[in-house]
Structure formats: C-alpha cells, structure tokens
Amino acid sequence: MIRRKNKNHKFIFLVTFCSLLLTQELSAQFISPPTLISPANGSGNLSAPVTLTWSSSASSFHVQVASDVSFNNLLVDVSGISNQSYVINVLAGGTKYYWRVNASSLLFTSDWSSVWNFTSASGQTIPPAPALISPANNSTNQPTTIVLSWNASTGADHYWIQIATDQTFSNPTIGDSTIRGTSYQANNLTISTNYFWRVKVINSAGSSSWSSVWNFTTVSGQIQPPLQPTLVSPLDKSVNQPTSITFNWNSASNADHYLIQVATDQTFSNMVYTNYTITGTSQQVNNLQNNKTYFWQVRAANAGGQSPWSATWSFTTSSQATLEAPALSSPVNGATNQPITLTLSWGNAANATSYNLQVAKDSTFNNKVFNDSTITSNYKQVNTLAQATQYFWRVNARNNTGISNWSSVWNFTTVSQQTIPSAPVLVSPTNGTTDEPLNPILLWSSIVSAAKYRLQLAKDFSFSNIIFDDSTITTSSKQVGPLTQATQYFWRVNARNNSGISNWSSVWNFTTLNNENFVPVLISPSDGIGNIPLTTLCVWDSVKNAQQYQIQVSKQPNFSLIVISDSTTKTNIQLESLDNYTTYYWRVRAKVTNNWRQYCSAWRFTTRSSTPTYFNIDTTITFPAYEDLSSYKSSDYKIIGLPGTSHIPIINFLPGTRLQDWQAYWDNGAPDGYLLDYNENNFFFSIGKAFWIINKGPIRITATIENAPLNNNNNVEIPLHGGWNMITNPLTFPVDWDSVKTINNITEPVYSYNGAFNISDTFKPFEGFYYFNSTNLSKLEIPSKFSGRISSSGKKNLNKQTSSKNWTVKIKLNVEGQVDSAAWFGVSSSPTNDYNKLNAHKPRNWGTTPTIYFMHPEWDKDYPVFASDIKPSFANSSEWTFEIKSHAWKPVSLTFNLKEFPGNLNIYLFNTVSNKWINLRENPSTQNLEYQYQFTPVSSKTSVKIMVGKESQDNSKVSTPSDFDLGNNYPNPFNLSTTIPVSMPVQSEVEISVYNIIGNQIKTIYKGTLGSGKHWFRWDGTDDKGNIISSGIYFYRLSDNSKIDMIKKMILMK
C-alpha cells in the first residue's frame, strides 16, 4: 500500500506539471508585445536623461537601444526590468537612436515591439551674429560681380545672406540660406546702384540675429571686362605631378582678380577646388589624389565683369609606391615592467592609409587579445592587459592598392602586481606663506611606489579655477610660473602607478609678492609700425584688479583731438574705419577700486595706403592623436602661423579645453623667462607672428583673411623685437630666404622645427620659424614677388676648391631618429676669434629634444648658443669644442661631412670614454667622405673636442689614470638611476657590485675585464632579479681577486 501511494503521488505531480506547461504554452499566445508610449516616434532635439515608457500587462521586460535600425551597435541591452520605463542618462550629441521592448512571463517571451526612434540634441547653442568684413561699409565704385565676406561665427553650420536695394529688405535682390563658407559671390548687379546686405548664422539650435546692415554702391557706367588669361604650368597633359601643386598663369590686361576651377572631368561637374578671390597669378592646391587626372581653367575679372574661361588643361598625378612593412618603434623589443594600459607605436609607411595591429599571447598569433585594422595613425593604445604577462605584437600597412607584409614580431612583458601609492605630504612653500616669488618651486615628499605625480595649482580652495595641471611629473618638485603678483594660490598633489591613483594631499596655499602697478603695458600694434590695416586690433597687458579699461586714439601726439574714445572690460579693442595712410597715437588707462589711474605712454602706428583685398584659407595641420595630452613629447609640437594680416585668437581654431586637449606657448625673445604660457591677451594670429602649439589630433583652419599690406618697396613688414623671434610667412606662397637676407642686409639663417631645429632655405606660409634679430631691426621686410623657384642657398658647391684657409665641416646629430643637422665648424681668411657674421646663433633647446651647439658666452652673454664656430686660418693646429644635449644612456650618432676639408690637414676627435684620439680621416663610413662616430653618453650633457692640424695625435701621450679609483656616483642622492665612474691604470679583471645596509649583495653591475682608462656604469635601482628596491642607504664596491677593494656610499630617494 505504501509503495502504491508513492507511485500515485508521482503520477499526480507529473500530470500537474504537464498541465502547467500546457497552460503556459497556450497563454504565451496571449503575451502581446509592449506598446511604446514615449518619446514619440521620430522625436528630435532630446537631451539626456531620456525616459523610455511603454504599456503591457506583463511584469518583466527587455529593452534595447541602438544607433542602427538592425540593432548591431547597442547602447542599452537590459533585461529583467520590472517597471514599464527605463532612463538613459548618457547620449551622444546629434545622434539618431532606435529602441524596442519585449515582455516575458515565467517561461516565455513575446515578440519585439515596433521599433521607434528619436534624435538627441546636438549640444549646440544659438551662435552669435557674424561681423561683416568686405566690402567696407559705404564703399563705392564696387564691381557688379563682387565677393561679400564676413567673420566666422563659433558654432556655425551655415550662413544666410540677404542683398537688397532698400534698408528694410522688403524685396531682397538676393537671398541664400545654404552658404557653408564665410563668403558669397554676387553676380550681375546693376551699375550705379546702392545695395544693402546682412548675414545671419544657422545651426541645429536655431539662427542668430542679423548682423549689422552694411551698404555699397556699384560702379557707374560700363567698364571693359579683362582679357582671357593664358595658362603656364603645370603643362597640359603632363604626368607624374605631385599631389600638392602650384598652378601658374599669365596676367590678363585690366584684371583685378582671378577665378580658378580644378575638377576630375572636362565638363567641371565634379569640382575638387574653386577660388574666386585670387589677386596674383598663382595658386597652390593640396591633398590631390595619387594616379588621378585633373582638369583646370582660369578666368579674369574686374568691376566690368569676367573674361571667358582660359583653355582647359589637364595633368595626372603620380601613382603610389609599393607599400613597405612598418618598422616597430616602442616599446623596445623585449621590454619589461610595461604598464597594463600601453601605447604601441611604429614608423609611418609611405603611402599607407591605415594600419592593422595585432597583439597576442603567443608568437604565432593564435591567441590574439587585440586586432584592429582601422588604425589611421602610427600608434595605438591597448587597454586592460594582464599583469606579469608576455605579449607579442606586429603591424602591417594598407591602402587601396593592397596590404604590406607583417612587420617583425616584437614582445614585451607587463608589470607585476603593485599597490596604490599613499598620498604625498606637501613640504614647501610652507602653508599660508606670503611674498613668494612669481616662479616658485613646489616641493613634496617622495612616495616609494609612485611612478608619476599630478600637481594642481588654482586660485580657489575648491580648484574650480585651475591655472596649472600636470600629471606627467616624475620627481617630487616642480617649478611653476610666472604667476600673478599679490595673488593667493592653492595647490595639491597626488601619486600614481599602474595599480591606481592615491588620494589628494592636503591643500596648502601661498601668496605671491606684491608689487602693484596700475599702468597698462601696450602690446600690439608695435610702436612706430606702418602699413596697419584700416580695421586693426589694439592689445595691452592686464592690470591686477582692473574693473575697466579706457582707450584713446588721436591723430595728434598730445591728444588735443580725440578721434576714438572707448571703454571695455577686456584687454583688447578693435578699431574700425580708420583713414588711409594716417598716423594714429593711442594710449590706455585702467580703473581700479573705482578710480581711473594714469594713462600709459602713447604708441603710434600708420595705416596702409591701399584698398585691402582678402583671401580664403582652408588648411589642416596634423598632430598625433594621443588620448592624454601628457603623452605628447616636445618633438610633437609644431610652430604655426597664418599668412595675411588678421587678429584672430588662436583659440578659435583649438577645440576642447586647454591643458586637456591643447596647449600653446610664445617666445618673447628675452634672455630669461622667455617662454610664455597661453593667455588671451597675447595669443592672436597677426602679421608674421607664430606660436608653439600641440593639439590632440588635427587642427582645421578656415577663415577669410586680409592680404598683408605692402610698403612703398612692395614688401610686407613683420614687426620684430630683440633676440629670438617666432615668425611666419605673411604671404600665401613660399619665399626664398636668401632674398629676405638681401633686402634686409642680414646674415642670420631662419630655423624650422620638425622634431628638431634645422636651417631652412625657404620661408613657407602656415609654418612657424625662429629668427635671431642680431642687428636689432624693428621690422623685417618680406619680398612680395613670387620667384617661382626653391633656393639652393643652403647647399655648398661640392666641387669648389678648398684650402687650409677656407673650409667647413658639417656635423649631424642623430638620437633614435631625431636629427639635428644645424651645426658646423671651420676656418675662414676673414674672421677673427671674436663673434663674426659667419657665425649663426642657434635657438635655445626646446624641451627634451636632442641638440648640438657651440657655447660662446664671450661672444654674446645673453644668447651664448651658436650653430657654428668659424675661426681664422691657423699655422699649425686649432681646436673646437661643441656640446651635445641628449638623454643619458641613449646611443648617440655623430656624422662629420669632410667633403670640403683640405687634404693636407689631419682631423681628430677626442673620445672621452676611451681617453683616446680618433682620426676622422681614416676609414670614412661612406663614399661621400662622411665619418660616423657613435657613443653612449653617461649624462644629459656631453662635451666633444675636435683637433685640426698638420701633426698627428699620439695616443701614447694621452694621460692614463695613475691608480685604481672608484669615483663619487652622481647624482647622489638619486631617484631613478645614478652613474658610477671607475678609473683603471691597467687592464684588470674586476667586479662592481651593490650592497644593502646589512651587507647583503643585491646587484652585480659589472663583472669582467676592464681596460686602462676611465669608465662609467649606470645603476637603475633594481636588484639582480630586476625588482625595484626601496629607498635607503646603499654601498657600491669595486674589487678584484687580490689588491683592489674600494667601497663608497650612495642614497636612493623615491
């Protein structure tokens, strides 16, 4: 009976369970998809958070939100939701999203609901109204085909222009709301007619108010249109042309300006470039495609109309070269202790458009952890690697013609487990101290496990007004400034390593010294400068606690007649509608504590005499695209300037936030404290002015700019100050620097920067240069006539006869691919041992960029760095000493070009490592008589001696150490590494080792044979197993098997 009862229970349970399943299956037919409610389908301009709502009788839901209708790119994929709503907190701006919902019961799920969509807000605000530029208000005798231009407005998507014959615009003659640029060409206007025009800006947030209304009057009577121009170059049907090419044509009689069209078809329906405002007879066009045929034509124009188009010519660009495999760069092969978030980099492959990076845990790449074939730069950050793991990586290059072979395979090993460092303790300046200098050094305690520190400096305790933020500091101190006088600052520090970031230190404060001066300092336009545009920007330096500024402008030096008087809270003001060829005087005063202070000394400028013309620019300047601004090196910076004359703040072209997305500096030319950090007063693109700039990714510069004015010699004038000047070409075409030297009677070269300073023969637009004003010129004149050639001035005549009285030797420095070739020495029959015009100053070192130079404070105590050292001819011998700045323990290569060196002289280099002379005439490394000398410096600065003469140098006469010596390590105390010098009188078997304070040997630095002479060894603070040791006192020992046993103390501080 009992068994039968159990069987009955099992049967009842089975029947009940099957009934439940059947009931659920039947009921699933009645679980309907949810009904979507809000946001309404097709809604637009929604800002986060967005709440999705629906209705259903079910109790559990699954929501999906994607940026594509097929739901491949999911933003939200959440199930198990018990409410009939879901909140999205983060949305990308201006993006269309799709969403759907399904419902679930205990075992079954409904179909998906219908798919609805909504679009997020762009995040833009309504832009400000634009400022009109050209033609000037109330101008007359304007052509019936005219280009109207205005300033770009921040946040603009497109512009709307109206042109009418009445000021109310009741019946506009022209109306166009689809303009993408900042200019518009109006055609077929009526002669002798007064036109009114205005512009407004439009973006996704709405439209601005109209600009001010300007007017102009067209010419009276009929003017004869110009004749048809004839094309010059590139020649018709020419091939293998570059992708950046300059078009040239002959001038047309009576032409005011020219129009050019470039297209990929002969009917010009597929246009790639157009320009309607060219005032010269040439135009450069960039970024054409390889292996492509282009067609081009030009027409001339004036107030009377346009000429017929010229003949149509064609040319074909060169084809792409075969792709080569990239060369891996960093981290070096076999590197250890690498962070788990690591940037891998490689060399650019010619003609590559993208790269494929693979990272794996095995050398056959069967176990890949990263694979990306869409990389467009030559580096990529790889995240969330495992600790204490060996990885292998390789790269190939790609373009539309194919894929290169894989690079060689390199490997690296990640760091082992670390702990998050503790918070640093602030040390100096003491909390609450006053009268601190304007360039103070901030000091804090060293944290043993810290890899880097982050320092923040602000003007408020909450750090909402941060003025300095650097997360790349590797030591426990940092100099900041220049700071503002009589100002309280707050500062704090944290520490970080691969495991994380410490808490902030306590917040300390200090106040800078008080040296009040309420008189503004004028900045621009420079005192006494000429050819100033009729619309110009006056700029001055800020005054502490100033509430307001007042500017006065007069045509009289005593200001007896004021023509402009205006007030502003800014440190600049734009003057408009100035008279032609007129001298103006201007001065500024500040209002502090409700009292107007005294005016500064007046400056003067003279306006230009000709009617201004304008040109459009649209250019892109590329930078590496690291995720963190702190990842950039000094070699990544570029010097940038704009052609023409403008007063455009550089920030207009720099998206994002300073110190997070970009940084800029300017060199004021002073002997000390010359590098100025970005501030809104000085950082304007103006005529001939350039800046150091770094940006996370490319910068696109689009603007309408006034052509630089010409003086009576048809030259453009660049203002100069004493010392070094950062300058740029104010013209739209390259200029031969030799022609600049000739018309200004100067001898100094101009230096470009591309990871290192090098002398440039050509003065190019958009690129910045360093020029040393050795003759204290107030301005530099740039010739406006295009020579159509590239200078060969920097190239020596290799076939000319040399003698012991006139020769030079060029030196090239190469440190891991960073090349400095701006150094040379020699003799001449004309100079003396003092400074002479054959010697050129050299720019001061930029960041950590390797450089080579001659140091001569006796020639110039304020600017003692020179690129050359030319001595008078000598009878027997002469010596030169040059300096090298580079990273310690990184291999250095020096190349000496002996092409011009006379055959009857010997030339020796003194090797301070081997303590021997090296004959540079023996076994030159190439057929071009170039000798390469390589060594590894033991410090960041190395002196090299060169001896030239008729006698040979005998190494037996070189002094050899008289005894064994273990020198003092340097630096001591040290943080990351230290150098240990050793002197050997004879060759011996020795050991150099490190011991801790209790006498245990922890590191063998060297064990083996050492020859006679001086030697240097580096210790990086690790033990024999590669572990980083802690701070403390350590001993280093030099010993052999018998007579040598020397010990000295050193201190490791982290």
Q: Which residue is listed with tokens 């390797």?
A: 850
pLDDT at 24: 42
DSSP 767: B
Say whether pLDDT at 954 is over 60: no
Residue 708 CA to its chain's centroid (Å): 26
pLDDT at 794: 37
Say whether pLDDT at 749 is over 90: yes
Say whether pLDDT at 295 is over 80: yes
Say whether pLDDT at 843 is over 70: yes
Phi/psi region, residue 49 (left: phi>0; alpha: psi -120 to 50; beta: rest), is beta
Euclidean distance between CA atoms 177 and 159, whole angstroms:
6
pLDDT at 493: 95
Candidate from 169-173, 682-686, 1009-1013 with smallest mean pLDDT:
1009-1013
pLDDT at 25: 43
Name every residue whose Cβ is closer than 8 Å to that of residue 313 and which is 6 or more positions away in sequence: 231, 234, 235, 236, 237, 295, 296, 297
pLDDT category, 28, cuts 50, 70, 90?
A: very low
What stretch of H or E contains 27? helix 2-28
**7 phi and psi angles, rounded to 5 deg:** -65, -40
Asked if residue 669 lies in contact with residue 676, where contact means CB atoms within 8 angstroms, the answer is: no
pLDDT in tens, 872-928: 877 777 888 899 998 888 888 899 988 888 878 888 888 665 566 788 877 666 666
Euclidean distance between CA atoms 510 and 354, whole angstroms:
51
Asked if residue 283 lies in contact with residue 247, where contact means CB atoms within 8 angstroms, the answer is: yes
Say whether pLDDT at 20 is over 50: no
Asked if residue 1050 lies in contact with residue 1032, where contact means CB atoms within 8 angstroms, the answer is: no
pLDDT in tens, 847-874: 788 999 998 877 888 888 999 998 887 7
pLDDT category, 199, cuts 50, 70, 90?
A: very high
Give the pLDDT mean for 1010-1026: 84
pLDDT category, 647, cuts 50, 70, 90?
A: confident
- Percent of the chain at pLDDT exceeding 70: 90
Name every residue whose Cβ is closer than 8 Å to that of residue 752 and which is 6 or more positions away in sequence: 639, 758, 759, 760, 764, 767, 769
Neighbours of 31 (CB within 10 A): 19
Say whether pLDDT at 391 is over 90: yes
Euclidean distance between CA atoms 214 and 348, whole angstroms:
51
Q: What is the mean pLDDT of the chain?
A: 83
- Percent of the chain at pLDDT exceeding 90: 27
**703 phi and psi angles, rounded to 5 deg:** -170, 160
Say whether pLDDT at 17 is over 50: no
pLDDT at 801: 40
Candidate from 14-28, 483-497, 1003-1017 with smallest mean pLDDT:
14-28
Asked if residue 1014 lies in contact with residue 981, where contact means CB atoms within 8 angstroms, the answer is: yes
Euclidean distance between CA atoms 766 and 643, whole angstroms:
6
> Would you list the DSSP string of 60-98?
EEEEEEESSTT--SEEEEEEEE-SSEEEE----TT-EEE
Euclidean distance between CA atoms 727 and 311, whole angstroms:
39
Question: CA-CA distances (angstroms) from residue 333 to 234, 327, 416?
Answer: 47, 12, 18
Please indicate, yes or no, whether the overall pTM of this predicted structure exceeds 0.75. no
pLDDT in tens, 968-989: 888 888 887 888 888 888 888 8
Tokens of 246: 């300059």
Euclidean distance between CA atoms 1018 and 637, whole angstroms:
31
pLDDT in tens, 63-106: 999 989 888 888 888 888 988 999 887 777 778 999 999 998 76
> Would you list the DSSP string of 833-877?
SS--TT--B-PPP-TT--EEEEE-TTT-SSS-EESEEEEE--SSE
pLDDT in tens, 818-832: 899 999 999 887 765
pLDDT category, 16, cuts 50, 70, 90?
A: very low
pLDDT in tens, 751-792: 999 888 999 999 999 999 999 998 888 889 999 875 444 333
Tokens of 1026: 């590669």
pLDDT at 713: 82
- Secondary structure of residue 514 in the 3-state scheme: coil
> Would you list the DSSP string of 267-336?
TS-SEEEEEEEE-SSEEEE--PPTT-EEEEEEEEEETTEEPPP---EEEEEPPPPPP-PPPEEESPTTEE
Q: Which residue is listed with tokens 């010519």?
A: 313
